[in-house]
Every structure is written in structure tokens, then in C-alpha cells.
Structure 1
């Protein structure tokens, strides 16, 4: 099992890149130093919870997915939680709609 901060660091980097942000831009938006973002992404720091929460909120990252990686939440499997971590509510709803349409199509045939 990886350290939760390692998983969080990977999620931060992936989400930042997905949003086409540089480390400098992300730091600017969050009123943090660039060094803070670099050290978090490289797992070279143990950030305060407030820092983790601020970054997670800005990048729409699930802290639960990193911290509670082996726990099922409310009957939802880990794979579903991981699939949707870092996704916006709009992206999640599009995926759900697509699954519902596929289910309807499958049921009709």
C-alpha cells in the first residue's frame, strides 16, 4: 500500500496537468509558493491539512480516495470511488447518463 500522501501527490499532478496548469499557475491561484506545490507533487513535504484541503478543492480531488483507499464507502466499491475521484460533478453525471442509456439499450435487445 502506498502512503496516502504519495497517492495525493500523484492525484495533484495528474489533475493539474489535466487542467493545463503549470505548478506556478496553480500556486498563484491558491496564493501559495511554487515550492509548496513542487514539494507536494514530489512527496518531499507533509503539508498541513488546510493546504491539502485547499488544493483538493481547487483541483476537485477526492481526499477520501487517497486516505481511505481500501475502504468501501456507503456500499460503493473502491473501484467506483477511484474512477470518479478528481472528476467534476458534471463529468460524473454525464457518465451516469451514458451508463443508463447503455443499460436501456441492452435491456431492449
Structure 2
């Protein structure tokens, strides 16, 4: 399993648009073989930072999902929310592997 961590710098005045953008991507990731763990928005402290975390069973599965970018109409529409609103100023993707609790021994 790989987990993609996306760190966003967002426009705090456009949080509503960012939430619409996030809801669309949660749906798309889940529909196309991933598990979206949610978006994490500012609450206290810095008001221009947000995170998204989602996982795919493998890098190959993630790459299949990425083939839909710019091609699938639902993906294009989701990106249009970001592009037209200007809610995302920049973002950076990092791929990580989870360290999960070990199974309990009987």
C-alpha cells in the first residue's frame, strides 16, 4: 500500500471552494480504487495550510488512477473548481508507506 500526502497552501478566503474541490476528489479517489482518508483543513494556527491523505493498494494502482487526469470529464470538472476559484495557491505530493499496528499475538 502507498499513501499520498498532499500538502496544500490555500487561500483562506476561498475555503468554501476548497471544500467543494475536496469533496469531489474524495469521491473520485474512492470510485477509482483508492481509499481517501479525508482532507484536513485549518482550525487553529496557520490558516493557509491543508492536507489530504489517500491510499492505493500499490503504486501501479495509483498510476492507473492518474491516467484519468485531464481525460475523464469528472476529473476535469474537479480540477476546474480549483482552477477557476483560485482556492489552491500551491501543493506538493509525497508518497509514503504506512506503518500499521502489528497483529496481536494470541
Q: TM-score, normalised by structure 1?
A: 0.29
Which structure has the larger Rg?
A: 1
Q: TM-score, normalised by structure 2?
A: 0.29
Structure with greater proportional strand content: 2
Using CA pairs below 8 Å that are at least 6 residues apart, which structure has the higher relative contact order? 2
Structure with greater proportional helix content: 1
